[in-house]
């Protein structure tokens, strides 16, 4: 079933990270621990059921009572959908069930409804085979939810952030862009020292949604990490890494650029080694827009002669042997600087 990360609580999502870590460690060390562990994990949860009758992934398993607890909020299901990558067919198949009633489109963006409203919609849909998008169904659900607390806890979990992570893995754009549009509209996007984050908001339940039903709750996990993760991830990104993680040989031999980090004021917008073209592509820009002198140290290039191009102009021709590193001096400012190394 997994391990407890809180007393008497085995969360499905918390155990996905050690499973992923075990898979990566196996590839790195040439072992197959995951081949022994994962079938047992699957079998244990098959007996209890990963999902409840309501279509959401279970909240947690309580070993002291040998009992699985159903979820009533979307948060855990969104999070699980992002990281349960050993059976992504399950998470893809379950995504419409997870999001039904909770997510809805309005003005080109995707909003999250309060759990009492969403669960009322889901109950009506289940009992009457109704359409969750039917305005009359939504209206009935809203009336049923009047006076009910939006969460049983004193605070609301990072619902938006976990949904964003799950959507980035399972759906991608255009759905993800619509969800992020909501964040940019209602969650207080803020740039600080070159980093985008979303402001912390009131922890008062009356401020979790505005009078028009727009999700407005902001907390650090969503604002500092989850939305950023969702923006950087690609559809099926975790699954790709599960299936084809880098081997020890790839890590040790793949060419890369060293000597540049955010501490220098420089942000790396993109970087790629193209094996077929024997070319390295790097795009840089300072986050504070000021000019900065940096030296890009290129390591692990295959032996040979390379043309060094900066913004499309040949600056130098250099030769390297046996992966010997060499430096490229650059002046990086508020406009993109593109560095290309092309083998002759």
Q: Which residues, including other chains, have CB under 8 Å from residue 43's CB and lie 6 or more apart?
A: none
Residue the block writes with tokens 């900065």: 292
Find the Cα–Cα–Cα–Cα dihedral 141, 150, 76, 184, rounded to 10°: 90
> What pLDDT, in 10s, does the model give residues 92-120?
999 999 999 999 999 999 999 999 999 99
Which domains, from first to last, does the chain contain? 13-114+150-242 (no CATH), 254-343 (2.60.40.1180)
pLDDT of the residue at 335: 96
Best CA proximity match to 111, nearest among 154, 76, 163? 163
Best CA proximity match to 125, nearest among 66, 202, 54? 54
> What pLDDT, in 10s, does the model give residues 245-277?
988 888 889 999 999 988 889 999 999 999 999
Number of CB atoms found within 10 A of residue 70's CB: 14
Are the C-beta atoms of 159 and 179 separated by less than 8 Å? no
Q: What letter would DSSP give residue 262?
A: G
Residue the block writes with tokens 């009356």: 206
Long-range Cβ contacts of 30-35 (<8 Å, 24+ apart): none
Are the C-beta atoms of 74 and 112 separated by less than 8 Å? yes
Long-range Cβ contacts of 301-304 (<8 Å, 24+ apart): 301/255, 301/341, 301/343, 302/255, 302/278, 302/343, 304/278, 304/343, 304/344
Q: How far apart are CA 28 and CA 281, in angstroms?
A: 27
Residue the block writes with tokens 């650029």: 257
pLDDT < 50 positions in the chain = none
Q: How far apart are CA 9 and CA 126, in angstroms?
A: 29
Q: What letter would DSSP give residue 51?
A: B
> What pLDDT, in 10s, does the model give residues 326-343?
999 999 999 999 999 999
- The phi and psi torsions of 315 (rounded to 5 degrees) equal -105, -30
Number of CB atoms found within 10 A of residue 258's CB: 13
Terminal C-alpha separation, the chain? 55
Q: At what angle do helices 159-170 and 75-83 cross, to 10 degrees?
A: 30
Q: At what angle do helices 16-29 and 33-48 cross, to 10 degrees?
A: 160
Q: Pairing mode, if any, of strands 195-198 and 292-299?
A: unpaired
Q: Could you give the angle at the alpha carbon of 334 between the alpha carbons of 330 and 339, nearest 5°?
A: 35
pLDDT of the residue at 103: 98
Number of CB atoms found within 10 A of residue 112's CB: 25
């Amino acid at each position: 079933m997994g391990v407890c990360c809180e007393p008497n609580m085995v969360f499905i999502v918390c155990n996905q990270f050690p499973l992923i870590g075990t898979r990566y460690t196996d590839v790195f060390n040439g072992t197959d621990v995951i081949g022994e562990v994962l079938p047992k994990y699957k079998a244990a949860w098959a007996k209890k059921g990963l999902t409840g009758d309501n279509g959401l992934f279970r909240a947690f398993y309580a070993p002291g009572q040998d009992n699985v607890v159903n979820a009533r909020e979307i948060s855990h299901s969104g999070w699980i959908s992002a990281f349960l990558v050993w059976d992504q067919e399950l998470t893809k198949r379950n995504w419409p069930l997870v999001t039904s009633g909770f997510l809805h489109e309005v003005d080109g963006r995707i909003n999250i409804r309060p759990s009492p409203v969403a669960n009322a919609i889901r109950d009506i849909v289940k009992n009457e085979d109704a359409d969750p998008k039917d305005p009359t169904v939504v209206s009935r659900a809203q009336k049923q939810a009047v006076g009910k607390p939006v969460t049983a806890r004193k605070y609301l979990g990072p619902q938006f952030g976990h949904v964003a992570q799950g959507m980035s893995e399972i759906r991608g754009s255009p759905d993800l862009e619509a969800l992020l549009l909501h964040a940019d509209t209602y969650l207080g996007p803020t740039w600080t020292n070159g980093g985008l984050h979303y402001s912390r908001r009131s922890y008062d339940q009356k401020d979790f949604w505005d009078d028009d039903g727009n999700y407005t709750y902001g907390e650090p996990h969503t604002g500092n990490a989850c939305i950023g993760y969702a923006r950087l991830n690609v559809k099926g990104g975790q699954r790709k890494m599960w299936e084809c993680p880098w081997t020890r040989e790839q890590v040790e031999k793949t060419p890369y650029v060293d000597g540049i980090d955010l501490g220098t004021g420089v942000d790396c917008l993109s970087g790629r080694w193209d094996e077929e073209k024997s070319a390295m592509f790097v795009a840089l820009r300072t986050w504070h827009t000021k000019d900065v002198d940096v030296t890009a140290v290129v390591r692990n290039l295959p032996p040979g002669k390379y043309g060094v191009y900066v913004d499309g102009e040949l600056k130098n021709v250099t030769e390297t042997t046996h992966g010997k590193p060499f430096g490229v001096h650059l002046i990086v400012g508020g406009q993109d600087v593109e560095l290309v190394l092309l083998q002759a």
